[in-house]
Structure 1
C-alpha cells in the first residue's frame, strides 16, 4: 500500500547512470549510455516530491513532479524537460508491499499511441533503479527503453 512517504528515499543528490535505447519502440536498437546528476526534494509533508535531473553530455535537463492522492492511495508522476517545456501526461500507480513501485499512463511517441510503464525498484539509502517501458499492443509486450541506476555520490551528506 502506498503512503505519503514512498518517495522520501529520493530526497537529496544522486549520481545517475543512464541506458537509453536509440529507438524507444525497437527492442533490438542499440543502447546509449550517459551520466546524469539529480537532486530531489520533499514537499507538502511528503505528499509531493520534485526532482531536477541534468544530463551534461546530452545537453538537456528534465524534472519530475510527483503528487500523492491520499483518497486513492496513489501517485501521479509528471515529467518534463527543457527541450519541450510542457508536462507529459502522467503515469499513475503505487508501491506494493515488496517496495516495488509501478506506474502506468498513456502517451504518444513518434506519432504512435503508447502505454507507458515506470518501475521503481532496488530502493535503499544508497541506491535505486528506475526504468521506463512502452507498449504499443495493449500491454501484451513491453520494450524497456530507458534505465536509470541511481547511487549516492561520495560527497553527499543527508
Structure 2
C-alpha cells in the first residue's frame, strides 16, 4: 500500500545519468545521453517533496513537485522546467510490491506531445539506499502499447564521493 513516506528514499543529493530518445514518438529514433545533478527535500512532513534538477549540458533546470493524497492514497507528480515556467499535466499513481520484495512506483497521466494526445507512464524502480531508476514511456493507443523514451539512473552523490576515494 502506498504511504506518505514512499519517496523518503529520494531525499538528498544525486548524480543523474539521462538517456533520452531524440524523438519521443519514433521507435527508430536514436538516443542522447547526458548528466545532471538533483536535490530532493521533504515538505509537509514527508507527504510532499520537491526536487530540483540542474542539467547544465542542456542549459535547463527542472523540478518535480510530488504530493500525497491521504484520502485516495495516490501520489501526483508534477513536472516543470525553467524553459516553460508552467506545470505539465500530472501523473498519478502509487508504489506496489513487485513480487521480489522490492517496491515499484507506477504513475499514469494524459498529455500531448508534438500535437498528439499521449498517455504518459512514469516508473520508479531499482530503489536502494544509493540508487534509483526512473523511466518514462508514451502511448498513442491509450496504453495498449508503450514506447520508452527517457530514463534516468540516480546514484546518491555521497556514494559517488565514497567510491572515488576508494583505492584502486
State the TM-score, normalizing by the size of structure 2.
Answer: 0.91
Q: Quote the offset at 1:85 in angstroms.
A: 0.4
CA distance in 2: counterparts of 1:63 and 1:35, whole angstroms: 15
CA RMSD of aligned residues (A): 0.9
Distance apart, 1:115 and its partner CA:
0.2
1:17 matched residue in structure 2:
17
Higher normalized helix content (fraction of residues):
2
Rounded Cα–Cα distance in structure 1 between residues aligned with 2:161 and 2:5 = 25
Return 5+ residue gaps in structure 1 as ranges: none
Counterparts in 2 of 1:38-49, with a 5 A limit?
Answer: 38-49=38-49
Question: Which protein has the larger Cα radius of gyration, Structure 1 or Structure 2?
Answer: 2
Give 1:56 shift: 1.0
Q: Where does the alignment leave 5 or more consecutive residues of structure 2 unmatched?
A: 163-168
Matching residue of 1:32? 32
In 2, the alpha carbon distance for the partners of 1:78 and 1:149 equals 19
Q: Which residue of 2 aligns with 1:125?
A: 129
Q: Which residue of 2 aligns with 1:91?
A: 91
TM-score by length of 1: 0.97
- Which of the residues 119, 130, 153 maps onto 1:149? 153
